Amino acid sequence: MAATNLRERRWVRFLNRYGFILAVLVPILLWFSIFSFGPILYALYASLTNTHSLDPSRARFVGLDNYISLLDDRRFLASMRNVVQFVLTKGVLNIVLSLGLALLLERLRRGRNLYLFFIFMPVVISQVAVAMLFLWLYDPRLGLINYLLSLVEIPPQSFIRSTAQAIYSVAIADVWKTYGYAAVIFLAGLLDIPQDYYEAAKVDGATRLQTLWRVTLPLLKNPLVLVMVLIVIDGVQHFTMVQVMTGGGPADSTLMPSILVYNYGLGANNYRMGYACAISFLMFAVILVVTVLQLRLFRSLYD
């Protein structure tokens, strides 16, 4: 009798202490197990098999075969080349535009929010809608951009319909949508810099350009690293706008790894789930490396 009582009391104490925590964490962890950890582990396992997307019962373990075949897969190699071009184009344009914009906005005493209101707007609208807008702007015959080019006597371009221009065209559309976001991060970083630094530079007789190089940019390192990492992580995973605008074409010139995962995994006549999962895990590896490098870089910056 006494023993049960003691056990009961212990149980009550346990519940008093951990009851709320368990009531919260058990459902949360259950959700993560079902919709996050489980699928991740399953994808890892599938990447080592020849699983069919619709009928996984016939799966056979193939080791690293999927990863090895990727090295010979011309479509996969094309997607790697494209994603590097995409990230570089996007990164350079995005940082130059957003940093320039932030530097201009910082100088303002009034009206900053009014400009931000317009410039940030493309950030919030749907990617598919932006893709539709740019499909129209880029149309070789009917689009606004070729019309504007014709006004300054530049011959019409084919943009997303040409293998040479397509990847840059989709990257530019993406920059139009996203650079306002980086600008806000840079602006916050600029406004954090104490005015004393600038005054000290002025007293020392530094020119505007010198101040920018020697004072402003070094103090903006953290936002710069953050923006670059976001651009890389985002770019590596990019799917929506390119899928809608070109579907990866023409001739695979805008094919992205995510699009390839979708096509191999769920495209008609493919359903090669194992193979597609191997691609997705390589993307994961790239993001992991970038994130670790970022943490290292941040740590060295703080020291």
Partner 1 sequence: MTEVSLDRATGAPLPSGATGADARIRLREQLVSLITHLVLVIFAFIAFGAMMWMVLASFKSASEIIAKPPTFLPEAPTLGSYALILREQAFGRFFINSIVVALPSVLLILFSSSIAGFVFAKFDFPAKEVIFTIILSTLMVPPAVTLLPLFRLVSRLGWADTYQALIIPVCVSAFGIFLLRQFMEGLPSELLDAGRIDGASNWWIYRHIVLPLSVSALSALAIFSFLANWDSYLWPLVIIYEEKMRTLPLGLAYLLGWSSRPRYDLFLTGAVITVVPVVVFYSFFQARFVRGVTLTGLKY
Residues 183-222 that bind partner 1 (CB under 8 A): 184-185, 188
Site for partner 1 in 283-302 (CB under 8 A): 283-284, 287-288, 291
Contact with partner 1 (CB under 8 A) among 129, 200, 217, 301: 129
CB closer to partner 1, 4 vs 57: 57
Phi, psi for residue 272 in degrees, rounded to 5: -90, 80
149 interacts with partner 1 by CB under 8 A? no
Residue span binding partner 1 (CB under 8 A) among the ranges 3-11, 27-35, 83-91, 195-203: 27-35
Q: Is 276 in the site for partner 1 (CB under 8 A)?
A: yes
DSSP characters for the chain?
A: -HHHHHHHHHHHHHHHHHHHHHHHHHHHHHHHIIIIIHHHHHHHHHTTBT-BSS-GGG--B-TTHHHHHHTT-HHHHHHHHHHHHHHHHHHHHHHHHHHHHHHHHHH-SS-HHHHHHHHHHHHHS-HHHHHHHHHHHH-TTT-HHHHHHHHTTPPP--GGGSTTTHHHHHHHHHHHHHHHHHHHHHHHHHHHS-HHHHHHHHHTT--HHHHIIIIIHHHTHHHHHHHHHHHHHHHHH--HHHHHHTTT-STTTT--HHHHHHHHHHSTTT-BHHHHHHHHHHHHHHHHHHHHHHHHHHHHHH-
Q: Which of 53, 169, 254, 263 forms a contact with partner 1 (CB under 8 A)? A: 53
Query: Binding-site residue total for partner 1 (CB under 8 A)?
Result: 85
CB of 89: closest distance to partner 1 in angstroms? Answer: 17
Answer yes or no whether residue 180 interacts with partner 1 by CB under 8 A: yes
Stretch near partner 1 under the rule CB under 8 A, chosen from 69-77, 85-93, 199-207, 240-248:
240-248
Binding partner 1 by CB under 8 A: which of 84, 92, 96, 121?
A: 121
CB of 180 vs partner 1, minimal distance in Å: 7
Minimum distance, C-beta of residue 291 to partner 1, in the bound complex (Å): 6
Q: Which of residues 5-24 bind partner 1 (CB under 8 A)?
A: 18, 20-21, 24
Query: Which residues partner with 49 through β-bridges?
Result: 61
Task: Select from 15, 26, 29, 84 the one that contacts partner 1 (CB under 8 A).
Answer: 29
Show contacts with partner 1 in window 248-267 (CB under 8 A): 257-258, 261-262, 265-266
